[in-house]
Structure 1
């Protein structure tokens, strides 16, 4: 009767030979997933030790991929470069962010390890150590490692992604807070007083800060989207007047070696977003329009007429506000607009105003939570009466 052929993944009889003083080698033939029959062996200090080592190896063995770009000899430093190079659709600022995360928290501690030398337990300990210093850094590094090991899985170097089972860095989600009408009035008053203060020398601080705040609170757009506006994006004579966001600003240092510049796509490659402008925004933009000549010129400009950096406006806003309003940043106006639109129209209208693809995003991150229950007196009275 002919010998039955091994199925892919099966191995034959294990034999153990003494190969030296106190050294034994166990070996067998394995039929790998590609159908090829290969010899596998492991050593130990005794025959039983060698046999156990070989059995452990056979349980996790994958088909050797010596000709593959990624194989079991690839180090994590090499894997990172291969993974990042494969992300051709990733924006350059995201690539820079991932490279910095790997350089700061991954390369020195993990880079020399081979792919199979980072099990879940070791990755868990490393991510926990990073999280103890910075939860946000641990979160970014975990994203990088998940992507790297997903690539290793696709090349059959490991069967499962060991990073997916690691704990996510604990992060306290900040409470959504919208400015009340009284607080907003106070903010407007403070930024105007800051701009109009007398100075003996130098340029006036916060030159366009009041108009920036008025447009933010009138639209709910992201601060860097507002700063990317060109006059060709604004139509103040339309009925109703509109503004179309089609890009975003990329600040100094977000991409290594590049200065502040306009990116001609929105966050997440979202489509252009048009909003109808209320009176406050129309008045603010009309004030700025007096110095505009070129339709492709920026709406908000630095002293030289070029693009304005959000860092400069954020610094001016912080300096302008009194202590009790120091929690307000340029990002505070987006949840404020969402909450106002939700309260006067609906959650779906708030989603549309902010241009979110999913209502859940608006509700989770941008709507101030309501804490007033409905008028349920009739129902509860009937229940108490046994009805």
Structure 2
């Protein structure tokens, strides 16, 4: 528009020609510490306790189990809530869970299960840690039937809304200092731990990303302190490689 105005003599120069795109500062990736995780679980346990005299149904144990499964897999909340019992193989020597769908919202119809993942890389089989296997086996014993065979279903047997889970978590964390923690924070925590104990490639596969760059940039927390390379940098010192000077000889020494 400004270039056209210059050509027609409406303005002498193009005021935006030499400008550049404004870059927003990238948010720092933050993962949960062990102490944070203890606070998360304590807050959920407290929130699930019945309140005397408070009307309405009691909270279920769904939130605690959903958080545990997110921490056990690094999966997105929509992927977790789309899981069916048929997607598990708990009888295997190393029990697995297959991410093969996600929940999506359609206006006027609500949430339904989409039988494919966000990307081709999102379709993956995950080996479960023991704490998740124990939780799922206990849950299966008391699971109520629902038409979708969903692991997590609403009281009416429908798919459990991610929005409701997020709202429950906000309620649970209300009296803590965890306002910065969202379901996606659990995903970043998983990526950061795997990177520290294994490598970025493993973290990328676990999260279902198509690129290691995405995982490294947006999901892995970087240490605030640079690695200790002081021994390497010692080579750059002013006296490096010089022969230490001989001690000065005194008159007394010279006479000996």
Provide TM-score, normalisation by structure 2: 0.79
Name the structure 2 match of 1:266. 117
Residue 234 of structure 1, CA deviation: 1.1
Bigger Cα Rg: 1
- 1:1-387 alignment to 2 at 5 Å? 119=1, 171-200=24-53, 201-205=55-59, 207-251=61-105, 255-270=106-121, 272-290=123-141, 291=143, 297-321=149-173, 322-384=175-237, 385-387=239-241
Structure-1 separation of matches of 2:123 and 2:107: 27
Moved runs in structure 1, 4+ residues, more than 6 A? Answer: none
Q: 1:209 to 1:379 in 2, by over 3 A?
A: same
Q: 1:304 to 1:343 in 2, by over 3 A?
A: same
In angstroms, what is the RMSD of aligned CA positions? 2.5
Residue 244 of structure 1, CA deviation: 0.4
Number of residues paired by the alignment? 224
Structure-2 separation of matches of 1:353 and 1:256: 31
Q: Which has the higher contact order (CA 8 A, sep 6+)?
A: 2
Structure-2 separation of matches of 1:328 and 1:280: 22
**Unaligned 5+ residue runs, structure 1?**
1-118, 123-164
Aligned partners of 2:104 and 2:111 also within 8 Å: yes
Name the structure 2 match of 1:70. none
Aligned partners of 1:178 and 1:336 also within 8 Å: yes
Provide TM-score, normalisation by structure 1: 0.54
Q: 1:166 to 1:257 in 2, by over 3 A?
A: farther
Structure-2 separation of matches of 1:240 and 1:186: 30
